[in-house]
Every structure is written in C-alpha cells, then in structure tokens.
Chain A
Amino acid sequence: MSATKRVQQWLTFTRQWWLFDAKWQDPYKSATVITKYLKGGHKPIFGGGHMDCGDHVVVINSQDIALRGGDEWYYRVYFHHTGYPGGATWTKAWELHKIDPTMILWKACYKELDKNWSRRGRMLRLHIFKDEKIPVDIIPNITDQIPQLRAVPKRLKDYSQEEIEKFPKLFDFPKEHVLD
C-alpha cells in the first residue's frame, strides 16, 4: 500500500439514503428506529450523539400508519399555543392526520431526537411522503431499506381462491349459519 493511499477511506463518511415503509407501523416505535439512522447510530464509526455521520431516511406510506389500540386516534392529543390569551388548541391525532398525513411521524421523530442544535439538521434529512410516490430526483439516491418492525399481514381478499380452498379446516358451517 502506498503512503498516499494509506488513510484513504472510500465512502466511509458519505450520507447514505434509506427507505422505510411506514405501512401499518407504529409511528412512535418506528421513530426510534428512524432516528437511529438519522443520527448514524447504525454505523460502527458512530462515537456519540455529537458526531455528524447521520444518513437520509425516506419514509413512504405515512398515511397508512397504525396507532396502538383501537381508539388512540381519539385520545392522543397534540397541543399548540399561539402565544395570545386563549390561544391554546388541542388537536386530536385523527384530525392532525387528516390535515397532514406526514405530521404525526414527523413529530414523533422530532420528539425522539436529542434536544440540541443538531436536531434541525437531522430532521432535514428525513423525507416523509404520504404514499408511494417519491420525487424523481430522490429515487436514484436510495440504496437500501430499513426492515419494518412488523410484517404487514395479508388480508383475506389478498389470498387467491385456490389458497383459501386449500387451507385446512375441520368442518363446514351449517348452511343456515352462513348469511350469503
């Protein structure tokens, strides 16, 4: 090895681009994973929160996130105050999601990151899209995918008729118990 190339490190400090599919994922648990990539904690060169070795994360399908329980959409509340007397507003999660389907995930990641000056810069490397449509200039950058926390289960209508008939069953329901 020549002396000039002794310390050459190919692409060690480049910013990579990751894809995360948020379909049917818990936004708050996903945020812990996403922020790890934003901080660079998934790399062995990571040496504490002060290091600037974070990556870009592209999140798709943010409109299909799943909140815990059936009614968390109704009891999770986002607070905002305009600064004027009586300016407090409490927006429920389902209302916020209706206004902007990327907002809940953005806020979850923002809250999860360390509260210091590097937070804004890291959030700029988070790109959230409500569906699978990604801008054309972002697509060629993406090199790898962050595995989902939970596999998206298949619905009954996604199975073909053959697979449904093949599925083992113990008995047929009596005819009078079947509505259609």
Chain B
Amino acid sequence: MVNLTLALFRNARPHSLDAFWKKRQTLKLSSHFYGRARNCWSIAIRRVQRALMYVTEGRKLRKVHMKDVWNDRISAGAQELGYLPEGDRTLLEGLARSNVLLNRQTLGNLAVMEPRTFESLNKIARVRANEEYMARTLGPFPKGVLGKL
C-alpha cells in the first residue's frame, strides 16, 4: 500500500466502486474550481461534465490556434526581412518552387529560434522568385546563392 500519506490521498485510486470513491474521482477533477463547485459534489459533477466538454472542444481549437501562431510568426519574420505585410506568400511560394519542403510549423519555429537560418532560406526563396519573375520589386538581389540564371 503506497497511498498512505495525506498528500497522496488526492491521487488515491478506488479499490472498490462504492459511492465515496466515485465522488472522489469527480472531485479530483474539480479541485481547481472556484467556490462550492470545488467541494459540493452535486454542483461539482455538473461543472466537471461541462469542463470536459470544453476540453474536447479545446483540442480542436488548439490546433487552429497553433496554425495561426505559425502563420503570424512567418509573417513577422518575413516583415523583418523587408517583405510587405502579407508578402510572405512570395517567400513560401519561392521555397516551394525551390523544393525546400518545410512546413509552417518548422518555418515558424525557425523564425523565432534561428532567425539567421530563416534569413538564409529567404535568400534561396528570393533567388527563385527573381528567376521565375514572381517578384521584381523585392529589393537588391542577394549574393552568395547560385541559381539557374
């Protein structure tokens, strides 16, 4: 028997499914709620059921949110390199045509954690963009990158 101390009582597993232990399982999930929803079981069970529904919803929303965050980070990183707002499409298109197959999560992380890597990727994309006549007004042509032309 391990769950002997008071600190471990909160994580105690039921040995039998009697009413006390069933309620204990619910109250564990409501332990961080405000007011009587924390300790009164009849209120807690309703709040916990609703909270679990929010969790199910949140699992989908989190993925949407993270996609937005990556897009924001790529856009912000591109603007630091001189692109116009919403001009990062040129960057992504240039990378795709250069066969640099990085997804938005990776590019977003690079924009935050490794700005110089991100800048180098931008150079490759920009050379390709110039070659394919995608964007002629993007500024001076970068040096040190070999393209087709």
Chain A residues with a Cβ under 8 A of chain B: 41-48
A48: which of B69, B80, B112, B115 is its contact (CB, 8 Å)? B69
In the docked arrangement, what's the CA distance between A123 and B73, Å? Answer: 23
In angstroms, how far is the closest chain B Cβ from the Cβ of A8?
14
Q: Are B79 and A46 in contact (CB under 8 A)?
A: no
In the docked arrangement, what's the CA distance between A133 and B115, Å? Answer: 37
In the docked arrangement, what's the CA distance between A47 and B72, Å? Answer: 8
User: Smallest CB-CB separation from A42: which chain B residue?
Assistant: B76
Which chain B residues (110-128) contact chain A, with CB distance < 8 Å? 111-112, 115
In the docked arrangement, what's the CA distance between A41 and B69, Å? Answer: 10
Which chain B residues (87-131) contact chain A, with CB distance < 8 Å? 108, 111-112, 115
User: Smallest CB-CB separation from A47: which chain B residue?
Assistant: B69
Residues of chain B contacted by A42 (CB below 8 angstroms): 76, 79
User: Smallest CB-CB separation from B80: which chain A residue?
Assistant: A44
Q: What 0/1 readout, one digit per residue, does chain B (62-79) give for beta carbons within 8 Å of chain A?
A: 000100110011001101
Q: Are B65 and A46 in contact (CB under 8 A)?
A: no
In angstroms, how far is the closest chain B Cβ from the Cβ of A22?
18
In angstroms, how far is the closest chain B Cβ from the Cβ of A145?
14
User: Smallest CB-CB separation from B110: which chain A residue?
Assistant: A44
In angstroms, how far is the closest chain B Cβ from the Cβ of A24?
20
Residues of chain B contacted by A45 (CB below 8 angstroms): 73, 112
In angstroms, how far is the closest chain B Cβ from the Cβ of A7?
11
